[in-house]
Amino acid sequence: MARAEWGSRLGFVLAAAGSAIGLGAIWKFPYITAQNGGGAFLLIFLLLVFTLGISLMIAEMLVGSVTKKSPVGAYRKLGGRTWSLVGYIGVLCGFLILSFYSVVGGWTIAYIVKSVDGAILTADPKVLSGIFSTFIADPVEPLWYHALFMGVTAGVILAGVQKGIEQVSKYLMIMLFLLILVLIGRAITLPGAIDGVLTFLNPDFSKVNARMVIEAMGLAFFSMSLGMGCMITYGSYASDDTYVPHSAGSVITLTTLICFLSGLMVFPAVFVFGFDPSAGPGLTFITMPAVFSQMGGGQFFGVLFFFLLFVAALTSSVSLMEVVVSFFIDEFNCRRTPTTIVMSILMFVLGIAASLSLGVWNDYKFFGKNFFDILDYVSSNLIMPFGGIMVAVLVGWKSWTLVSERLASKGKHPWWLPLLKWFLRIIAPIMIFVVLLQNL
Ligand code: PHE
């Protein structure tokens, strides 16, 4: 059977952007930027995205589109047997991420419900923080939503590559973008909003330290879906006339834009209503309702926002599950339906532990982190950067001739080609390695 392909080049970009834009941009980016003090962190993040991020995105998409295989097969084809290990690690990474991602995806559904019944329509920081922390610490309630989110993700996967992923991605992402603009409009016109905007944009370099760089890099990998093979898988469905650097550039730019706008949306509210900027994973969930409470039709905007956040999360979770499922299909000839069901259940079970670790199991800590944070930390700050080094080395050294032919044959000879080559060969691996070392 011919390998499935995206319906159009635009379809490919939108699906890849759908994978990248998700909880990373709208949930993780604001709270991690806030925890790290704003401006300076934002700058480091942008710097990393437009050097490392863009080149690794090109590299990954190329590996996929040249080999037409999912990560394990792709690494094996280009690098040989040993290299396929990197693919396995990527699949494992997808598995780990989705198990906690689905928990947070579940929160978005819960918050749709809480917006409908109006419970969260207040500007009182204490009440909003209280509602959030009581909810995530509950041993039962979040698990239902987690199950629902995982179930919907599996449902999309079962509908197949094109119909499932591509259709869902298109229109709702545009709506999300427009809604964020509306919400920024409200947020920055609240009295006192300027403090938030300044904290977000004004870099205070005295705050820069090694930990910040680690966090910024992990965030870049996570929010751009890099280093674990997701973009290899998506690239493998790209048709041959897709010019990968353009697609990669669009995806990176769109995702960065959403990160940036999410910051502009969340930061003012933090300062206007007096939330704690280091509130952590709850930040978007506790601050946005305060903004809705100050809007005509706040309930409507609340429901719409959390619904679109849910959809953004879904297009990302689908891409994570696709990495895991297509691995079993391509490597072991498994059938799509049973594989999807079994994997979903396994990830759901691991996610239960992640969810409980925010409440009743919060006392079990390793290296001072609960299980939820461990899953997040290990995948974003260790495995994905490791995968980044590997894909840079593979494309830069081992397969450069093959891959660069692709880049040159479409246009004449892009001026940045040598730049990309040496960046992937030397600079990217060293950069990532140095940051990884800080980690250990
Ligand atoms: N980039 C996605 C997000 O920000 C998460 C993700 C990571 C998706 C890795 C696929 C692969 O929500």
pLDDT at 164: 52
Span between the terminal Cα atoms of the chain, in Å: 46
Crossing angle of helices 125-137 and 84-116, in 10° steps, is 130
Contact, 96 vs 139, CB < 8 A? Answer: no
Distance from the CA of 123 to the center of ligand 1, in angstroms? Answer: 31
Crossing angle of helices 428-439 and 210-223, in 10° steps, is 120
Distance from the CA of 162 to the center of ligand 1, in angstroms? Answer: 19
What per-residue string of b and e applies to 252-265 under the rule 16 or more CB within 10 Å gives b? Answer: bebbbebbbbbbbb
Residue 246 within any structural domain of the chain: yes
What per-residue string of b and e applies to 309-318 under the rule 16 or more CB within 10 Å gives b? Answer: bbbbbbbbbb
Residue 420 within any structural domain of the chain: yes
Atom of ligand 1 lying closest to residue 230 CA: 11
Residue 53 within any structural domain of the chain: yes
Task: Quote the number of domains for the chain.
Answer: 1
Of all residues in the chain, the percent with pLDDT exceeding 90 is: 71
DSSP code for 281 = G
DSSP code for 207 = G
pLDDT tens for each residue of 123-165: 899 999 999 999 999 999 999 999 999 999 999 888 765 555 5
Q: What average pLDDT does the segment 12-18 reach?
A: 85
Residue 198 within any structural domain of the chain: yes
Residue 2 within any structural domain of the chain: no
Of all residues in the chain, the percent with pLDDT exceeding 70 is: 95
Domain encompassing residue 30: 9-439
CA distances from 154 to 108, 252, 256, 284, 320 (A): 17, 26, 27, 26, 11
Residue 332 within any structural domain of the chain: yes
Residue 1 within any structural domain of the chain: no
CA distance 213 to 200: 17
Ligand 1 shell residues, CB under 6 Å:
19-20, 22-25, 97, 222-223, 225, 228, 230, 316, 319-320
Q: For residue 381, what is the domain's CATH number? A: 1.20.1740
Q: What average pLDDT does the segment 174-184 reach?
A: 92
Q: Is the pLDDT of residue 318 over 60?
A: yes
CA distance 105 to 132: 14
What per-residue string of b and e applies to 82-96 under the rule 16 or more CB within 10 Å gives b? Answer: ebbebbebbbebbbb
The sign of the CA dihedral 155, 336, 103, 380 is negative
Distance from the CA of 272 to the center of ligand 1, in angstroms? Answer: 30
Residue 409 within any structural domain of the chain: yes
CA distance 389 to 436: 10
Q: pLDDT grade, residue 105 (50/70/90)? A: very high
Mean pLDDT (the chain, rounded): 91
